[in-house]
Structure formats: structure tokens, C-alpha cells
Amino acid sequence: MSIAPADLPARTPAGDDVAEAMLLGETKTARVKKRLTSRTATIVSLIIAILWTIPTFGLFLSSFRPAELIRTTGWWTIFQNPGFTLDNYRDVLFSASSSSPQLGSYLVNSIAIALLATLFPIVLASMAAYAFAWIKFRGSSVLFIFIFALQIVPLQMALVPVLQIFSTWLRPAQAWLHDVVPIIPEQNYLPLWLAHTMFGLPLAIFLLHNFISEIPSDVIEAARVDGATHGQIFFRIVLPLSVPALASIAIFQFLWTWNDLLVALIFSGGTQDVAPLTQRLAEMVGTRGQDWQRLTAGAFVSLVIPLIVFFSLQRYFVRGLLAGSTKG
């Protein structure tokens, strides 16, 4: 049976506008994708990557050169003035003299600080993001806007108030905990963990909320119909689906914590037992920049762990950056 044109549903002007907008969006997306994947864009990206890598490569070569060659020649003259040694790394990592950097213990401190200062914000931010996205309660929108606005507040404005709070409440708690459990040192990483967690939560909540809110509502509703609680939905559905976003937040938070110097100087209490690697590297520079052949080795040591973290999670990085940027 044939259908006459009069029997077909007429397309409304609104429907035409929607179809035209969708077609325009798809055309624009295809055009941008074509430009970004063109041969010219690839060549430009390679040139930028090479130029960006040259200083790191020079630092790597300098870290293996003797002090005399570093002072008198540049790393680009490596073929004219060859010479390699492991003394720089031996001095900064294992030397027992008081004048040497001894970065081994500081490297352990940085790893201990960065790992938990990354884990705590991710755990808290993922739960908060799920609550804002899928649990309706009074004032949720206002509270979310307030958390988002905290990103605008400069970090330096909060340092003194937070330090006063820690001095009033946290220091006595640390002393009491040391008396109860003597194995726990009185000077520990707790102030640094809490400070990095508080400063990293607003951005982590905002980014994770964008991703978690894009999970299809049919999946969440089906789990609720089956009798799943919020805890079961969060651990069995939301977390597995949010791995790309969690990995991206982990990279950002770890790199920020690892490279931080300001928070470390203020909340470490000035003690070497909990001081991170960046604090010791700043001390290596000195007032006159002497013995900077050790600084090249120390700087490259500080690069190794972040590179391992980034390359381990890079497959999730792009997907996590695009989280929440598109619908559907």
C-alpha cells in the first residue's frame, strides 16, 4: 500500500530548526576534526614537541657531565667535549656528607606526601560529585556554585588562616596521637595531606561532577528499580564508568602536589623529616648557585616519578579531559 504525501506527518518549523542546528554542528565538528588531523597540524605538533623536549634533553645530558665540563662548555658540545660520569647522581642520592644534597630521604617524603595527597581528594571528590549529580537535596545548586567559586580564591589568601587552624587544633592532636601510639612520629605528613586535599577538592569536584552527571539516567534508574542503594550504585556503577575522569584528576593532583613548594614550606614545619624533594632542590640552588652540576641531577631525579605516573595513566588522560564536554 502506498502512502500519499498528505498522509506523512508535516515537519514543523521548530523541527526544521533543530535538524538544521544538528547538521550545522556535525559539519563544524567534522571540519575542526579534519583540520586537527591534517598533515600540516601533525608537522606543527611535532615541531612544538621537539622544541619543548630540547631543554629536558639538555638537562639530561648535563646531569651526566663532570662539574668542570658543565662550567666551561655547553651540553650541545657533547661531541667536541665528551665526558660522562655518575658522580652527580651518586652525590645527590647516596652521599653521607653534610654538604651534599642527600635526596634519597626527600624523595621518599615526596612519594609519601603525593600518593595520599592524591588519593584523599579523589575519594572525597568522587563521593561529593555523585551526591551533587544524582542525589537531590535542598540547597545542592547553591552549594555546588559555592564550591565552584572556591577555585577563584587565590591559594595564598588561605595559607595563613589554615595554618592558624592547624596550629590550634592539629598540632595538639598530633602530639596526643604520638603519646598514644609512640610508633607514629610527632612530626608527620598529616598537615601536608590535609592542606593539599583542601586546596585540590574544588577543582576535582567540579571536573568529576561534569563526568558523573553525563552517565545515562536509564542506568541509574534501572539500578534503583532493582533495589540498589546509593552506595551500591556508586561503587558498582559510577566508579567503574568514571575511571578516565579519575585518572585525569589523579594526574593533575599528583603533579601539582609533587611540584609544590609553597605549601610544603609552610605546612612542613621546617623539619627535614617531612620536607619534600622540592624543598631540598630549592636549598641546593643556594645564594650563589654553586655546585649546580648536582642541581641538574637532582632536577632530573624529580622528573622520573611524574613521568612514570603520566605514562602509566595516559590512555585515560584524553578521555578524562573531554569528560562532560559533549552530550550523548
How far apart, in whole angstroms, are the C-alpha atoms of residue 192 and residue 277? 13
Query: In the prediction, which pLDDT does 328 show?
Result: 41
Query: In the prediction, which pLDDT does 326 show?
Result: 45
> C-alpha 327: how far from its chain's center?
25
- Mind listing the pLDDT tens digit of every residue in the chain (328 residues)? 445 545 544 445 545 555 555 555 557 666 766 776 788 888 988 899 899 889 888 888 888 888 888 888 888 888 888 888 888 888 787 765 555 557 777 888 899 899 999 999 999 999 999 999 998 888 888 999 999 888 888 888 888 888 888 878 877 777 776 676 666 666 678 888 999 999 999 999 998 998 898 888 888 889 999 888 888 999 999 998 888 889 888 988 999 999 988 888 888 876 677 888 888 887 776 655 566 777 888 888 888 888 888 888 777 766 655 554 444 4
Domain covering 96-321 in this structure, CATH number: 1.10.3720.10
How far apart, in whole angstroms, are the C-alpha atoms of residue 285 and residue 188? 26
- Going by C-alpha positions, the residue among 282, 320, 286 that lies closest to residue 110 is 282
Instruction: For residue 17, give the C-alpha cell.
Output: 530548526
pTM over 0.85: no
Query: In the prediction, which pLDDT does 100 show?
Result: 54
Measure Cα distances from 256 to 216, 221, 260 in Å: 32, 37, 6
How far apart, in whole angstroms, are the C-alpha atoms of residue 65 and residue 255? 28
- Going by C-alpha positions, the residue among 219, 221, 234 that lies closest to residue 126 is 234
Q: Residue 320 burial (CB < 10 Å; 0-12/13-18/19+)?
A: buried
Q: How many CA atoms lie within 13 A of 186 on its CB side?
A: 7
Q: What are phi and psi of 320, to 5 degrees?
A: -70, -35
Query: In the prediction, which pLDDT does 8 show?
Result: 46
Tell me if residue 10 falls in helix, strand or coil. coil
- Going by C-alpha positions, the residue among 256, 126, 272, 129 that lies closest to residue 195 is 256
Query: In the prediction, which pLDDT does 122 show?
Result: 94
